[in-house]
């Protein structure tokens, strides 16, 4: 039994809970209502399984987080932010969380299943690992809308990369993995010391959600953990290639970090590689901080329009105050010339280029 876990957060199954929890916790959904089909993916501390709900036969992606592993890896803050962001969100381009519950050992997030899997994989099957410019425009536009929604709700996503973009059966994108997301205070996530003051909502969750279980864990890590936890843990390229200069400098950052990553994403989708990749981590960081973005002309990559290059230059402005989106958010990006062909309100009803 885990003491102090209130019912209204993760519902505790009677069979796993102690009597006092059971009395106030008539549970609805639990792990026994699902049949595990196969492993979909593995993260730092959790695994995602394809599962089928027994009574409805509906498929879900079940994220299973081991409490012991989370405590060992000091990952509890990520769990809370992910749960908070998912609970607070309802948008066609963000993965939906249908249920969350826990047993004595694990925490479960029952998520919308995206049959197309990681966008990263779809990309790998394309020649040169890049897409046509009109295709890139479509996906980047969907990402812009997803980020706009998160920002409007006060969250900074901070972890955009092709591995965190899933493809739904309809071919539309769904952002996932919100454990690095942050509730911003006045739009700014301050990372320098003193440590960040969580927003009211965050404080409330810290205290109440996982109760003494989280309270007993070490205090939240300084924000340098973005570096530590942000690395892609498998053989893929590191997330460090997506880090904005102000995060590397550690001087505090705003929602503009997400617009920087949109620039990196657009570049990677168009050119098949990220713009500042160096031989090692330090070289990459130096490039991010000092090197201006270059647009190579090679036989293998199709020509890229000046409008696209212009947008990427504006998104990859080293100085965040000069970056597109810094002042007026997504609106500045949506009104850029490169997005002229995009009918923003109709995007979710359009047929995407890569339907799984
Ligand atoms: N991998 C991680 N999350 C997933 C999801 N929701 N659907 C499909 N594959 C996934």
How far, CA to CA in Å, does 235 sit from each of 51, 107, 110, 161?
Answer: 26, 26, 27, 15
Q: How far apart are CA 66 and CA 104, in angstroms?
A: 9
Residues with Cβ within 8 Å of 329's Cβ and at least 6 positions away in sequence, in order, are 148, 151, 255
What is the tens place of the pLDDT at every residue in 71-127? 887 777 778 788 888 888 889 999 999 988 888 899 999 999 999 998 888 888 888
What is the tens place of the pLDDT at every residue in 296-342? 987 666 789 999 999 999 999 999 999 999 999 999 999 999 999 99
**At 101, which helix (H) or strand (E)?**
strand 97-102
Q: How far apart are CA 43 and CA 61, in angstroms?
A: 14
How far, CA to CA in Å, does 274 sit from each of 121, 181, 242, 268, 286?
Answer: 16, 22, 8, 5, 14
Strands 34-42, 46-53: pairing is antiparallel
Counting ligand 1 atoms within 8 A of each CB, the residue from 37, 60, 61, 94 with the most, and so the one to mutate, is: 61
- Ligand 1 midpoint to CA 297 (Å): 35
What is the tens place of the pLDDT at every residue in 135-173? 999 999 999 999 999 999 888 898 898 889 999 999 999
Give 193 or 158, the one with higher predicted confidence: 158
3-state secondary structure of 295: coil
How far, CA to CA in Å, does 63 sit from each of 4, 7, 42, 44, 60?
Answer: 23, 20, 9, 12, 10
- For the entire predicted model, the pTM comes to 0.80
CB 191 within 8 A of CB 73: no
Other beta carbons within 10 Å of 218: 9
- Ligand 1 midpoint to CA 108 (Å): 14
Kindly tell me the burial class for residue 170, based on how many C-beta atoms sit within 10 Å of its own C-beta (0-12, 13-18, 19 or more). middle
- Ligand 1 midpoint to CA 113 (Å): 6
> Residue 236 — very low, low, confident or very high, per pLDDT cuts 50/70/90?
very low
- Return the residue whose CA atom lies nearest to atom 9 of ligand 1: 117
Is the pLDDT at 228 greater than 60? The verdict is no
Q: How far apart are CA 93 and CA 114, in angstroms?
A: 11
- Which residues are bridge partners to 107 per DSSP? 65, 102
Q: How far apart are CA 86 and CA 99, in angstroms?
A: 10
Q: How far apart are CA 126 and CA 58, in angstroms?
A: 31
- Which residues are bridge partners to 51 per DSSP? 36, 60
What does the block give as tokens for 64?
Answer: 């299973």
Query: Closest ligand 1 atom, CA of 176?
Result: 3
Instruction: Report pLDDT for 295.
Output: 94
């Amino acid at each position: 039994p885990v003491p102090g876990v209130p019912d209204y957060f993760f519902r505790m199954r009677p069979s796993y809970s102690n009597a006092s929890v059971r009395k106030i916790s008539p549970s609805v959904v639990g792990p026994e209502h699902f049949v595990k089909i196969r492993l979909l993916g593995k993260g730092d501390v959790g695994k995602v399984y394809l599962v089928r709900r027994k009574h409805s036969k509906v498929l879900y992606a079940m994220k299973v987080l081991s409490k012991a592993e989370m405590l060992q890896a000091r990952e509890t803050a990520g769990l809370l932010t992910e749960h908070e962001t998912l609970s607070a969100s309802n948008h066609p381009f963000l993965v939906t969380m249908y249920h969350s519950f826990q047993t004595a050992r694990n925490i479960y997030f029952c998520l919308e299943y995206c049959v197309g899997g990681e966008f990263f994989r779809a990309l790998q099957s394309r020649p040169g690992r890049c897409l046509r410019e009109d295709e890139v425009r479509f996906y980047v536009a969907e990402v812009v809308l997803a980020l706009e929604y998160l920002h409007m709700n006060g969250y900074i996503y901070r972890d955009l990369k092709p591995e965190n973009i899933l493809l739904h059966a309809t071919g539309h994108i769904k952002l996932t993995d919100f454990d690095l997301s942050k509730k911003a205070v006045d739009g700014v996530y301050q990372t320098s010391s003193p440590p960040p003051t969580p927003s009211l909502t965050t404080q409330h969750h810290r205290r109440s959600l996982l109760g003494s279980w989280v309270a007993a864990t070490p205090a939240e890590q300084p924000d340098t953990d973005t570096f530590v936890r942000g690395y892609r843990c498998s053989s893929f390229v590191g997330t460090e290639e997506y880090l904005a200069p102000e995060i590397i400098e550690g001087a505090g950052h705003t929602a503009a970090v997400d617009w920087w990553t949109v620039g990196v994403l657009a570049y990677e989708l168009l050119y098949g590689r990220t713009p500042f990749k160096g031989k090692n981590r330090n070289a990459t960081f130096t490039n991010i901080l000092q090197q201006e973005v270059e647009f190579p002309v090679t036989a293998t990559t199709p020509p890229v329009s000046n409008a696209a290059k212009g947008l990427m230059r504006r998104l990859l402005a080293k100085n965040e105050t000069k970056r597109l989106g810094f002042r007026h958010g997504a609106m500045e990006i949506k009104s850029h010339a490169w997005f002229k062909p995009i009918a923003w309100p109709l995007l979710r009803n359009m047929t995407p280029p890569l339907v799984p």
